[in-house]
Amino acid sequence: MPPALSQRAARTVQSEIRVMTLECEKVKGVNLAQGVCDTEVPAPVREAAKRAIDGGTNSYTRAEGLAPIRHAIAEKMRRVNGLACDPETEVIVHSGSTGAFYASCLAMLNPGDEVILFEPYYGYHLNTVVAVEAVPAFVTLRAPEWKFSGEDLERAVTPRTRAIMINTPANPSGKVFTREELEWIAAFAVKHDLLVFTDEIYEYFVYEGKHISPATLPGMRDRTITISGYSKTFSITGWRVGYTICDRKWAQAIAYFHDLIYVCAPAPLQIGVAEGIARLPESFYVGITQEYVRKRDLLCDTLKGIGLTPSVPKGAYYVLADASLLPGNSSKEKAMSLLHTTGVATVAGSAFYHGGDGENLVRFCFAKNDADLEEACRRLRGLPEKLSRITLATSTR
Ligand code: PLP
């Protein structure tokens, strides 16, 4: 037999976000498809990383990461999240939270294990579960509040269910899980003896409600793998620094898989992030909320004004908007038509659902510098007139 790709590779598809980004570059549009924050990197983070390079922190580190960042994370988890953890045995520094989730799945899941995902989901969660040959099961969050019911969760359980994934605040819905919801999930996880993965990368992007780390709820400490990172908070998506917090009985195996795939997170950048966590004052995080509420409101008001009714997010930095009025038979066609009429790239809603939902949604990202976001909004405001011209042209043809 001639060489061929693995069955695993055949199951993976290019992310919709990359497809839109390439198309956006072709038309020189404004890219609100990709979750890349192009706001400024805080000075203490940048400067500490530069000093670390100049000072010679350029070699492999322990797979778990350097002591200063592990200690800074443990102290922050205690102070901010209310979760006590041992920096020597329960904190692992990873190549981004993406690396953290992949290494955790390799360490914790067997092929055929089922993992419950809420949808709309973040595509990497789904694809990572599939890549380790586990099987996703879906529970749909219902708009506008993105609620789920206990019955929906119970229906998703089978004898093979091994884990549930929580993403709070969530991409793409902007949902911030409430204490009541998390308590419900905690009781459900205990009842079915499930592992809980929680991705908290947007923990500092909360506009309404409060971020609660699921691991702090009763019965959850030992069964929860908490994943987060600084890509978003410090605007360093290209640095690849994230982490896992979990009970010591899992940590060694997770660190082992991280070592196998990535060896370690970039050494000097671990130092930059450690310095940021330890030095940046509370006002820095308050500033993020204020800045992103402003960006959220600018985008949501613009979308309301042009009839792409937004689901106003309580956290994270994405908006799912109703795309019914856009031409096209699917959300992919609608996203493409929006790009070609206005020059603003979004992601088709179908990218966040497994079974044909999301066709009337598109996702906008508002993690953009003010000039780009304002330009995108200016272009979007021209949509009604452009659409009416298209309608007129087709009706008089
Ligand atoms: N988790 C969620 C929910 C995300 O939306 C993203 C990026 O968009 C990531 C993780 C990626 O984080 P990292 O850069 O730490 O790998």
Ligand 1 closest atom vs CA 122: 3
State the maximum Cα–Cα separation within the chain, in Å, rounded to a whole number. 72
> What value does the mean pLDDT of the chain take?
94
Decide if pLDDT at 16 tops 90. no
DSSP at 85? -
Whether 234 contacts 269, CB under 8 Å: no
Whether 114 contacts 158, CB under 8 Å: yes
Which residue CA neighbors atom 6 of ligand 1 most closely? Answer: 201
Instruction: Please tell me the distance from the alpha carbon of residue 325 to that of residue 306, in angstroms, as a whole number.
Output: 10
Identify the pLDDT of residue 10.
Answer: 76
Ligand 1 center from residue 90 Cα (angstroms)? 21
Identify the pLDDT of residue 67.
Answer: 98
The preferred substitution site among 231, 233, 234, 269 for testing ligand 1, maximizing ligand atoms within 8 Å of CB, is 231
Q: Is 171 in the pocket of ligand 1 (CB under 6 A)?
A: yes
Which residue CA neighbors atom 3 of ligand 1 most closely? Answer: 171
Q: Is 335 in the pocket of ligand 1 (CB under 6 A)?
A: no
Q: Is 229 in the pocket of ligand 1 (CB under 6 A)?
A: yes
Identify the pLDDT of residue 388.
Answer: 83
Helix H or strand E segment including 365: strand 361-365
Look at the block and give the residue holding tokens 């992007």.
205
Mean pLDDT of 268-276: 98
Decide if pLDDT at 122 tops 70. yes
Ligand 1 center from residue 309 Cα (angstroms)? 26
Identify the pLDDT of residue 387.
Answer: 85
Identify the pLDDT of residue 330.
Answer: 95
* Rounded percentage of the chain residues whose pLDDT exceeds 90: 88
Which residue CA neighbors atom 5 of ligand 1 most closely? Answer: 171
Ligand 1 center from residue 201 Cα (angstroms)? 6
Ligand 1 closest atom vs CA 167: 3
User: For the chain, percent helix, then strand, then coil, each to nearest 5?
Assistant: 45, 15, 40
Q: Is 97 in the pocket of ligand 1 (CB under 6 A)?
A: yes
Identify the pLDDT of residue 394.
Answer: 66
Lowest mean pLDDT among 8-17, 250-259, 333-342: 8-17
Ligand 1 center from residue 383 Cα (angstroms)? 31
Ligand 1 center from residue 264 Cα (angstroms)? 18
**Nearest alpha carbon to residue 129 among 188, 189, 197:** 197
Ligand 1 center from residue 396 Cα (angstroms)? 47
Ligand 1 center from residue 348 Cα (angstroms)? 18
- Cut 0.85: pTM above it: yes
pLDDT by residue (tens digit) across 273-316? 999 999 999 999 999 999 999 999 999 999 999 999 999 999 99
Decide if pLDDT at 392 tops 70. no
Ligand 1 center from residue 323 Cα (angstroms)? 25
Q: Is 122 in the pocket of ligand 1 (CB under 6 A)?
A: yes
Q: How many helical (H) and strand (E) elements, i.e. helices and strands, does the chain have?
A: 14, 13
Lowest mean pLDDT among 9-18, 229-238, 245-254: 9-18
Q: Is 167 in the pocket of ligand 1 (CB under 6 A)?
A: yes
Helix H or strand E segment including 197: strand 195-199
> Identity (one letter) of the amino acid at 30?
V
Q: Is 234 in the pocket of ligand 1 (CB under 6 A)?
A: no
Q: 56 Cβ partners below 8 Å, 6+ apart?
A: none
Rounded to whole angstroms, what are the CA distances from 395 to 330, 342, 388, 390, 391?
22, 21, 10, 9, 6
b/e for 120-144, b at 16 or more Cβ within 10 A?
Answer: bbbbbbbbbbbbbebbbbbbbbeee
Ligand 1 center from residue 325 Cα (angstroms)? 30
First-residue to last-residue Cα distance in the chain: 55
Ligand 1 closest atom vs CA 99: 16
pLDDT by residue (tens digit) across 185-216? 999 999 999 999 999 999 999 999 999 999 99
Lowest mean pLDDT among 255-259, 316-320, 388-392: 388-392
Both structure tokens of 210: 């409060």
Ligand 1 center from residue 98 Cα (angstroms)? 6
> Identity (one letter) of the amino acid at 358?
G
Mean pLDDT of 169-180: 98
Q: Is 231 in the pocket of ligand 1 (CB under 6 A)?
A: yes
Mean pLDDT of 94-111: 97
Q: Is 172 in the pocket of ligand 1 (CB under 6 A)?
A: no
Contacts 24+ apart (CB under 8 A), 69-72: 69/93, 69/241, 69/243, 69/270, 69/271, 69/273, 69/274, 69/277, 71/274, 72/273, 72/274, 72/277, 72/278
Both structure tokens of 48: 């500490």
Ligand 1 center from residue 397 Cα (angstroms)? 47
